Amino acid sequence: MLSTLDDLKQRLQTALVNAFGPELEGTDPVLVPTNNPQFGDYQANVAMSLAKRLKDKPRAIATKIVENLTIDDLCDTPQIAGPGFINLKFKTDYLQEQLKAVYSDERLGIPTAQPKRTIVDFSSPNIAKEMHVGHLRSTIIGECIARTLEFLGHDVLRLNHVGDWGTQFGMLITHLRDVCPEAITESSSVDIGDLVEFYKQAKKRFDEDEDFKSTSRDAVVALQSGEETAYKAWQLLCEQSRKEFQKIYDRLDITIQERGESFYNPLLDDVTKDLTSLGLLEENQGAQVVFLEGFTNKDGNPQPLIVRKSDGGFNYATTDLAAIPQRSINEIAERVIYITDAGQANHFAQVFQVANRAHWIPDNVELVHVPFGLVKGEDGKKLKTRSGETVKLKDLLDEAITRSEKDLKQRIADESRNESEDFIHEVSTAVGLGAVKYADLSQNRTSDYIFSFDKMLALQGNTAPYMLYAYVRVQGISRKGDIDFSQLGEAPIVLEDNTELALAKHLLALDTIVMVVALELFPIRLCQFLFEVCQIFYQAEEPQRTSRLMLCDLTARTLKLGLSLLGIQVLERM
């Protein structure tokens, strides 16, 4: 009801001007949802905020506002409560008209936005390493945000800023030349698990063997200069890793364009040149740095952002700095959204500050860091395997599907049903993966959360299975009653009882929720909305008339759209 709320707000502002004069033009009417539905749908609290300014009692101010308020087409007669709250309740006729308009709209009443060129930077695994649970949140949150923005009509470029450059590749290539030369000369000669193990061995040698360290650094120089054998070895390592990443993205139904650190490598020298010409770059202990404003070290002195290390090498900050003008100028992005763990908040604040001081961020460009917390085990510690290793994302997804399949087979047995293996595979995969996604997205992304298969796969509570079952229930009504929902569009929608009214008001809030998610970038808002819709829907009795059937159909369509924005596939049967 985004347009309705804007209209209410405007009418309240007009009433304020009519009652007290033009000096109150644009005053915020402080319009909020009521805490108790019996008082109405919304409450305007502006009278309290104006009491001191107008030197009058809030209730008297509220009375004058109501006298000048014209909302007969939207609401019942406004009621003044307490010291001066203005309670507003939508007319049932108005809700029915709005609901019918939404029912007839393929987009369920959600308007398209003024399109913006938007980059969503998410997932970001490292080459020669397997994706692990630490990549879960960035990948799932990023996909949800990208889907939401795309649905609203924004021009979205999904970028996977993979770690595919730097000292680690010189180290790995040097080690592989000694122990497994075919890995850097032949495609697919080793799998990703072997590469991970080789990487661990290479890191150990690098830390303990000065000769190996020196040779590795020479290999980095060779790679950066484009030496043929080093470059081919690097390409093979990237290709092998990329294949494994894609398997995960295919399972999660994620489309993303890789643009790793190597893409920005040719731009790094320009970063130092520009910062030098602007007088921002200084030498400090052999390194080239920009001293930051508002950031201090433990001695209270300005903290430096290292742009070029003392050995002449670049780092993550340099790459992120180079990416900013490339994205805002070459890609013509108006909004760039970085989705990483909360531990990188300072890093991005510092990089954004330097870019801003270098005038690399045009006035029409917004850079946004979207931080998220850790995934923890039920012991409250960082989620790890029993052996203490980081949980592989592939293994986590496999486990979710396996548990989902076990639960499904038990329910099938309990209900004496006969189902095909294809059905069991489809349902257990959709439920397992949906459960993992929803469990993450339904959390406040800035907080850590406890990962629990039992909770996320439960058929009750704020879970994906609970949502999916609500959708399936409506499809069951269609099958059992031989009802074609597409043929109900000409009938009116009649709201008679409190459950229907409550459900209608929630369904009409979908446009507001989606727009808020796109603006504030908190998927939890959409999850909470869908959960509340399901709660009200489950309270309703079986539909006995066309109007109630239409309400059921609109609930299912709302769930299907909302879950698709979360990246979750619905099912016709469970």
**What confidence tier does 385 reach under pLDDT thresholds 50, 70, 90?**
confident
Question: Strand 257-258 and strand 155-160: pairing?
Answer: parallel
Q: Where are the beta strands (DSSP E) in 143-273?
A: 155-160, 257-258
Distance, in Å, from the CA atom of 221 to the CA atom of 227, rounded to the nearest integer, reads 9
CA atoms within 13 A of residue 87's CA, in its CB half-sphere: 14
pLDDT of residue 36: 84
| Pair 85, 44: CB distance under 8 Å | yes
Q: Which residues lie closer than 8 Å to 416 by C-beta, 6 or more apart?
A: none
Q: How many helices (H) and strands (E) does the chain have?
A: 21, 14
Lowest mean per-residue pLDDT among 127-131, 158-162, 393-397, 554-558:
127-131
Extract the tokens encoding 441: 């997205």
pLDDT of residue 1: 65
pLDDT tens sequence across 399-457: 999 999 999 999 999 999 999 999 999 999 999 999 999 999 999 999 999 999 999 99
Q: Which residue has the tokens 């470059």?
A: 231
| Pair 522, 496: CB distance under 8 Å | no
* Nearest residue to 444 via CA among 520, 547, 385, 514: 520
pLDDT of residue 254: 97
Residue 94 CB-density burial (10 A; 0-12 exposed, 13-18 middle, 19+ buried): middle
How high does pLDDT run on average in the chain?
A: 92
Angle (nearest 5°) at CA 262 between 257 and 265: 130
Q: What are phi and psi of 80, to 5 degrees?
A: -100, 125
Distance, in Å, from the CA atom of 410 to the CA atom of 101, rounded to the nearest integer, reads 42
pLDDT tens sequence across 194-205: 888 888 899 999
DSSP letters, 490-531, are TSPP---SHHHHHHHHHHTTHHHHHHHHHHH--THHHHHHHH
3-state secondary structure of 376: strand
3-state secondary structure of 417: coil
Percentage of residues in the chain with pLDDT exceeding 70?
A: 99
Torsion sign, CA atoms 262, 130, 440, 111? positive
- Provide the b/e sequence for 166-201 (b: ≥16 CB within 10 Å): bbbbbbbbbbbbeeeeebbeeeeebebeebeebbee
Helix 316-325 to helix 268-277 angle (10° resolution) is: 80
Distance, in Å, from the CA atom of 485 to the CA atom of 549, rounded to the nearest integer, reads 8
Phi-psi region of 266 (alpha: psi -120 to 50; beta: other; left: phi over 0): alpha
Distance, in Å, from the CA atom of 201 to the CA atom of 217, rounded to the nearest integer, reads 16
Extract the tokens encoding 426: 């489809």
CA atoms within 13 A of residue 397's CA, in its CB half-sphere: 21
Lowest mean per-residue pLDDT among 83-92, 119-128, 518-527, 544-553:
544-553
Mean pLDDT of 320-346: 96
Number of Cβ within 10 Å of residue 363's Cβ equals 5
Ordered domains of the chain (ranges, CATH): 2-90 (3.30.1360.70), 120-162+262-376 (3.40.50.620), 167-252 (no CATH), 405-565 (1.10.730.10)
**What confidence tier does 183 reach under pLDDT thresholds 50, 70, 90?**
confident
Mean pLDDT of 286-308: 92
Does 2 score more than 70 pLDDT?
no
Give, as one character, the DSSP assignment of residue 216: H
Percentage of residues in the chain with pLDDT exceeding 90?
A: 74
Lowest mean per-residue pLDDT among 104-118, 130-144, 183-197, 381-395:
183-197
Distance, in Å, from the CA atom of 496 to the CA atom of 548, rounded to the nearest integer, reads 10
- The whole-model pTM stands at 0.92
